[in-house]
Structure 1
């Protein structure tokens, strides 16, 4: 059953987010006003070297949490997702993926509200290119042993949805 979207109206818009309201008709004819958040698509790089994965320890002020995250971020207009993932990893960590990144997962993190489409890539090997360009991105940059990942998830140290999905997909792939 497909919903029908009628007229939309902008409530707020800046470089990062476009908040809209839409007249929506659900199957059965019920009409209601629905909010939509349009935002850029994201690209993320899981980089694995010698049984370790590169992660960021960072604070997220909105939920006021600390946790491990995969490097990644916004895909710029005209940029390919794999290139964006490599660029973001390099900017955030100072490590550039060595070689091509391969697709690991794609998903819409909040399909009922947000348009963002996330692309997760996997790479084996990395080259240190210097300090992170975006030092404000994290408190620590760590090569975490793959054997520790399940424990970090169980302990609640991975709460970011994109990172959780990426790490679980990686563990499934490597088993």
Structure 2
């Protein structure tokens, strides 16, 4: 198969930082007809998953603070897959840990790359339905876990109460999908 003339050439990779959460690499790249330089790349050792949890006309969200941005906001349940764990099983586990609910039905909604220019991360989002309460969520996961009307999502997004990229993407896809 011929090489696309607009495809960058990677001459090598040097790991600058490594952890169980994220790796930072410096890739020696060359742009076609352009310069050769080091490009920072974030590589994630585990798959990311999230879920839009729906019960009728309600969506289950977590009210969280993110110290990195200093922002409080509503988010979908989300987390990482453990080594060898199926993403659907991982998101079911995350829903239980973060909300105290069990979802009997989990179906794929969308897979996407949230930071294509600087990261290899893939995010898999599922639709979770047929839920039942099983217990209390893990205390460190969220300040509040609440069922909110699906119809309020556009207002929550417009007012800046949902700013988390994975949550925005997941909820926008859900809202734009035929139901």
Q: Is the TM-score greater than 0.5?
A: yes
1:30-49 pair list within 5 angstroms:
30-39=35-44, 40-49=46-55
Is residue 2:120 matched to residue 1:115? Answer: yes
CA distance in 1, matches of 2:82, 2:121: 13
Which residue is equivalent to 1:157?
161
Paired residue for 2:3? none
With structure 1 as the length reference, what TM-score do the two structures score? Answer: 0.95
What is the count of residue pairs matched by the alignment? Answer: 173
Q: Give the whole-Å Cα distance in 2 for the aligned partners of 1:24 and 1:64.
A: 34
Looking at structure 1, the residues matched to 23 and 147 of structure 2 have their Cα atoms a distance apart, in angstroms, of: 36
Q: TM-score w.r.t. structure 2 length? A: 0.93
Deviation per residue, 1:26-70 (Å, 9 max, x gap): 111420110111112211111110210010000001111011100
Q: After the TM superposition, which segments of 4 or more aligned residues of structure 1 sit over 3 Å from their partners?
A: none
Deviations 1:80-131 (A, max 9, x none): 11111111111111101122x1111111111111211000000222121111
What is residue 95 of structure 1 aligned with on the other side? 101
- Tell me how far 1:174 sits from its aligned partner: 4.3
In angstroms, what is the RMSD of aligned CA positions? Answer: 1.1
Which residue is 2:134 aligned to? Answer: 129
Q: Residue in 1 aligned with 2:88? A: 82
Q: Report deviation, 1:13.
A: 0.7
